[in-house]
Amino acid sequence: MTAPFDDLPRTPLAHLPTPLASMPRLSEALNGPALWVKRDDCTGLGTGGNKTRKLEYLIGRAEAEGADTVITFGAVQSNHARQTAAACAARGLTCHLILARKVPWQDPTYERLGNVLLDRMFGAVLHLVEADAVNSTYQSLKSELATANRRVFVIPTGGSNGTGALGYAACALELIEQAAEAGLQLTDILHATSSAGTQSGLLAGLALAGRLEDIRVHGINVSEPADAVPALISRIGELADDALALLGSGITLDRDAIRVDSSFFGDGYGLPTPATLDALRLVGSTEGLLLDPVYSGKAMSGLIGKIRAGHFEGSESVVFLHTGGSASLPVYGEAIVR
């Protein structure tokens, strides 16, 4: 970790650095550029995933403020909620998860297996509610916990605020160092973008390192319908600026560096497209790598689609940031296995 991060509250939770591995068989199958994967599915906490990097700073701040209880939010099969529950278990914090029924996925085990099963195993208190009841549930819970004199720290959906984005600012620096050690000319990073924290952090880290001119970050939109994408792009910029301010950098993000592609979104959040399912099977059969149907699989369908369209012609190498999520595979199994 570099000096700008040293004075910020942080609770070590992740196995870092995560591996940077080549994907030669996938590169060959696609006849594309050299493909690499940044294995943030291997962060270790509660089966791993990208939220663990964010939670190091969020839980760090919660503990610095003397919290004994954490509340956070997500969809029913939220990877963020699962990792938050695991982090709280590891640190002895009470965890409340407000999980919204916002994905119309018709599997009888959707609210029992996958991430939900792990949430319960990690000891979290689950509040499964309809999407329009999230705020009222939160307000009631907050009042109840205040009456009980609990010291509550609230983490936003996806752990995505300026504090959470610090995790991916640090990741960007980690990745730059790994690429240099591997003799890799890093030109492009592609990942699933949803609640903005991962992309904003990566961009903040690259800005901090002065590398935005030669390294492009491609966010594949997996969560927002077309009319909400401008707000997503704006939020990415705001969170990047927040992270840069927390780091005392004195700089802001050049908004031209924000790239969000919604071409692979499909019918909605949590609903895999045929291309998503094809990507899961292709990467599994060529690299032995598990993706998930909501985030990393949809992002990989974007990478595959872009390579086939010639988008990365002239790129030296492309790094796919694997954000994790394989815990949800069981509740999508019938769609994946034909």
Residue numbers annotated as active site:
78
Report DSSP state, residue 159. Answer: G
Preceding omega of 17 cis (within 30 degrees of 0): yes
**Which residues pair with residue 217 across a beta bridge?**
189
Backbone angles phi, psi at 48, to 5 degrees: 85, 180
Take residue 115 and report the two structure tokens written for it.
């991430």
> Of all helices (H) and strands (E), which one includes residue 329?
none
Interatomic CA distance for residues 259 and 267, integer angstroms: 21
- Concatenated DSSP letters of 178-189: HHHHTT----EE
Contacts of 76 (CB under 8 A, 6+ apart): 99, 100, 101, 102, 103, 110, 111, 115, 116, 128
* C-alpha to C-alpha distance for 285 and 18, rounded to whole angstroms: 22
Asked if residue 14 lies in contact with residue 54, where contact means CB atoms within 8 angstroms, the answer is: no
3-class SS of residue 70: strand
User: Alpha-carbon distance 208 to 174, whole Å?
Assistant: 12
CB atoms within 10 A of CB 92: 8
Sign of CA dihedral 261, 264, 265, 267: positive
- Region of residue 126 (phi > 0: left; psi between -120 and 50: alpha; otherwise: beta): beta
Cα–Cα distance for residue pair 65/55, rounded to 1 Å? 15
Q: CA 134 to CA 192: how far, in whole Å?
A: 24
